[in-house]
Amino acid sequence: MNQCAWLSLLCLTSFGALAESENRWLDNLLDKLGASETVDHTKLIDWGVLPGPFVNPEQGLGIGIAAVGLYTPTGWQASDPYSTVTVTSYASTSGSYGLGVDNRTYLAGDSVRLLLDGWISHTPGYYWGRGKRAAEEEQNKTQYDAKRLQLNPKIALEVLPDLYLKGGWHWQSYQSVKSKDDTRVSNELENGNSSGLLLGIEYDSRDFEPNPQQGSYWNVEWSDYRQQYGSDNDYQQWLVNVRHYIRVSPQTIVAMELYSQSFSGDVPWYDQALLGDDQRMRGYYQGQYRDKNQLSTQVELRHSFNARHGMVAWLGTGAIAPTYRSLEEQSWLPTVGVGYRFAFKARINVRIDMGLGKESSGFYFQVNEAF
């Protein structure tokens, strides 16, 4: 009996030592990559780098590398949010590759926001045409190649507490577009440039934009694309995005979102309302369902097990239609999924999501919460 007890104690001790050794190894690796629960204010930008795999309907299997930086501009106070910059690169089995940057600079006590996101990528993909019926007809599926450039600078000025007026520019270019299939819709695929002015108003009481734990976000934007601005087509867009976050316990948050997009005018094939991406309607091929109007909603439960690890689960639905009034007549598409969260930097999560849609699925590796 004593011998068994000693053997059990030896096994437990060995297991504990092994687990502690593995934890130390993981912590050392994360330290080398720049992971930290605090921000080093002595650095111009406190960087962290994290590689990871992904699988999604658009790109197949791939590998991505995200460099996440937190920084404090001149005049920063302890009550101000940290400014963030994320640089992302990826390559996948579909032949896609790209490099993107997303910057959020908060100045003068968060009364001025400088926002910039941009992408350069080689984007093989599929096009079904416009409308839900076209998206569900297999004979419309058309493979294509394209090179894509995108740049979206914005500035937001606080005019009342948490209320901002903003202006910006949308610029996007699709070049070297080549269709690989001869289908009914293949002649719609062509090179194009979009360039437009953006005006908007937003109410933002979120505590931290990349990973909100409380507050609300109401955003209304109007974009005007014209040939005199350098656009190939004349068209307009209205976008409405409403989000709300409720902390139901110290470890659990409920996040809710309503997203609406409406285009009018001569909208090019590449800049229509697309249902499905890594933020909303996860699990669908981005661009299979496209039209002039879309409406979607989702609810996500976010739970933290400790300071480093957490999980989420979501449920949502959405629809596209040629007119906004006809959205209610459509059969709405579902999305459900679960995800793992890893706190890589202070309040900056790396997320791995598995989304399921109607006869489709997607696996996503991203930085920051989906919404």
Residue 262: per-residue pLDDT: 98
Residue 7: per-residue pLDDT: 43
Residue extents of the structural domains in the chain: 1-33, 34-367
In this structure, what are the phi and psi dihedrals at residue 298, rounded to the nearest 5 degrees?
A: -155, 155
Residues 30 and 21: beta-carbon distance below 8 Å: no
Which parts of the chain register pLDDT below 50?
1-2, 4-13, 15-16, 18-19
Residue 164: per-residue pLDDT: 99
Residue 188: per-residue pLDDT: 94
Residue 42: per-residue pLDDT: 84
Residues 315 and 336: beta-carbon distance below 8 Å: yes
pLDDT tens for residues 101-138? Answer: 999 999 999 999 999 999 999 988 999 999 999 999 99
Domain 34-367 has CATH 2.40.160.50: yes
- Helix or strand (DSSP H, E) at 253: strand 252-265
- Distance separating alpha carbons of residues 268 and 351, to the nearest angstrom: 32
Residue 24: per-residue pLDDT: 66
Residue 216: per-residue pLDDT: 98
| CA distance readout (Å), 8 to 16, 130, 236 | 12, 66, 72
Which tokens is 210 given? 């990349």
In this structure, what are the phi and psi dihedrals at residue 343, rounded to the nearest 5 degrees?
A: -75, 100
